[in-house]
């Protein structure tokens, strides 16, 4: 099984001790995001978890926990680390960019560049944030991060209803201009670019279709071949393979203006305040009447012969 922690919230930044406890217990309760009063009781172990994927914009609080996580037997993991072009006006809850860049480099030195992916996501094109605007900021980030990663994954902003009309889908010409400009900046640093969940073809500028959780990355991290299926719960153009996400929507308090996973920052703060690192749930404690469907993790390894 591939565990995702998490597309829905920043677990490394906000809920690290809870995750450490869940890994130690080998059990987590995952609320069903679409059915109130239902969820999954997931049972797992280091032997049945082939790969852990940590999604974050701020791993600083999480770094001291990595040794303990590895001590529990969870050594097969990598980070999907988001560093965007934005500042406090869009990402008010994040530490200063210098600290986050230093954390990226520290992670890479500890784990190796292959286990720290750079996500440059989302790209929101409007009158202020033009392709040239992104090129300037991306070109400044590339020399700092390119030596510490093996790929950068791009994604243009998708429209989600609860975000309002502030972030419309850009036109094709704008997207192609942005792709060309970013590609030129990346090529100067020898940094491969990929897209995630993008239907458009940007291969003329050397940008390949990719995925945040792809078979090759999982096998490289695990050290053995795995049998995986496409993730049916993601967007149509998403190339990710199937994983189990242990996060919950509406629980991230980073306050990013473009966030699709949290509708209300105030509500997220309330849920965060109810968080207990000892609970099997990410926020709060299990309520009477909730129906928990038990699921046992099974390794996806095909013979588990090391590469």
Q: What is the mean pLDDT of residues 135-159?
A: 94
Q: How far apart are CA 41 and CA 27, in angstroms?
A: 7
Please check whether residue 65 is in contact with residue 16, taking contact to mean a CB–CB distance below 8 angstroms.
Answer: yes
Please check whether residue 134 is in contact with residue 182, taking contact to mean a CB–CB distance below 8 angstroms.
Answer: yes
Residue 295 has pLDDT above 90, yes or no: yes
Task: Please check whether residue 302 lies inside any domain of the structure.
Answer: no
Confidence of residue 238 (pLDDT cuts 50, 70, 90): confident
Residue 237 has pLDDT above 90, yes or no: no
pLDDT tens readout for residues 81-139:
999 999 999 999 999 999 999 999 999 999 999 999 999 999 999 999 999 999 999 99
Task: Please check whether residue 304 lies inside any domain of the structure.
Answer: no
Task: Please check whether residue 303 lies inside any domain of the structure.
Answer: no
Reduced to 3 states (helix: H, G, I; strand: E, B; else coil), residue 10 is coil
Task: Please check whether residue 258 lies inside any domain of the structure.
Answer: yes
Q: How far apart are CA 175 and CA 202, in angstroms?
A: 9
Strands 291-296 and 2-5, sheet pairing? unpaired
Which residues form the domain of 102?
2-296
Task: Please check whether residue 306 lies inside any domain of the structure.
Answer: no
Task: Please check whether residue 135 lies inside any domain of the structure.
Answer: yes
Phi, psi values for residue 132, rounded to 5°: -65, -35
In sequence order, what are the beta bridge partners of 207? Answer: 193
Residue 30 has pLDDT above 70, yes or no: yes
Task: Please check whether residue 176 lies inside any domain of the structure.
Answer: yes
Provide the H-helix boundaries in the chain: 11-14, 16-25, 66-71, 97-111, 131-145, 172-188, 215-222, 265-273
Determine if the pTM surpasses 0.75.
yes
Of 236 and 212, the structure prediction assigns the larger pLDDT to 212
pLDDT tens readout for residues 40-93:
999 999 999 999 999 999 999 999 999 999 999 999 999 999 999 999 999 999
Strands 116-123 and 244-245, sheet pairing? unpaired
Q: What is the DSSP letter of 156?
A: E
Query: How far apart, in Å, are the Cα atoms of 17 and each of 151, 202, 239?
Result: 29, 40, 31
Domains in the chain, number = 1
Task: Please check whether residue 149 lies inside any domain of the structure.
Answer: yes
Q: pLDDT at position 231, please? A: 72
Strands 77-82 and 116-123, sheet pairing? parallel
Reduced to 3 states (helix: H, G, I; strand: E, B; else coil), residue 2 is strand
Q: What is the mean pLDDT of residues 181-189?
A: 98
Q: Which residue has the tokens 């096998």?
A: 219
């Amino acid at each position: 099984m591939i565990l995702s922690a998490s597309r829905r919230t920043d677990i490394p930044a906000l809920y690290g001790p809870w995750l450490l406890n869940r890994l130690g217990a080998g059990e987590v309760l995952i609320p069903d995001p679409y059915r109130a009063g239902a969820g999954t009781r997931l049972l797992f172990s280091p032997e049945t978890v082939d790969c852990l994927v940590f999604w974050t914009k701020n791993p600083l609080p999480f770094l001291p926990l990595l040794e303990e996580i590895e001590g529990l037997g969870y050594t097969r993991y990598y980070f999907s680390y988001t560093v965007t072009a934005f500042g406090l006006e869009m990402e008010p809850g994040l530490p200063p960019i210098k600290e986050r860049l230093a954390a990226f480099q520290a992670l890479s030195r500890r784990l190796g560049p292959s286990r720290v992916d750079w996500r440059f996501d989302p790209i929101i094109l409007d009158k202020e944030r033009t392709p040239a605007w992104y090129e300037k900021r991306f070109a400044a980030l590339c020399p700092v991060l390119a030596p510490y990663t093996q790929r950068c994954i791009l994604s243009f902003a998708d429209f989600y209803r609860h975000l309002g009309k502030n972030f419309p889908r850009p036109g094709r010409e704008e997207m192609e201009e942005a792709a060309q400009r970013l590609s030129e900046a990346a090529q100067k640093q020898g940094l491969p670019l990929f897209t995630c969940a993008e239907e458009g073809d940007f291969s003329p500028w050397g940008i390949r279709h990719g995925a945040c959780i792809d078979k090759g990355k999982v096998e490289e991290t695990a050290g053995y071949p795995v049998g995986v299926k496409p993730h049916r719960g993601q967007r149509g153009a998403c190339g990710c393979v199937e994983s189990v996400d242990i996060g919950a929507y509406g629980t991230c308090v980073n306050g990013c203006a473009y966030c699709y996973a949290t509708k209300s920052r105030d509500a997220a703060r309330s849920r965060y305040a109810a968080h207990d690192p000892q609970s099997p749930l990410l926020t709060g404690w299990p309520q009477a009447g909730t129906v928990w469907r038990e699921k046992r993790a099974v390794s996806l390894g095909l013979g588990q012969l090391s590469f």
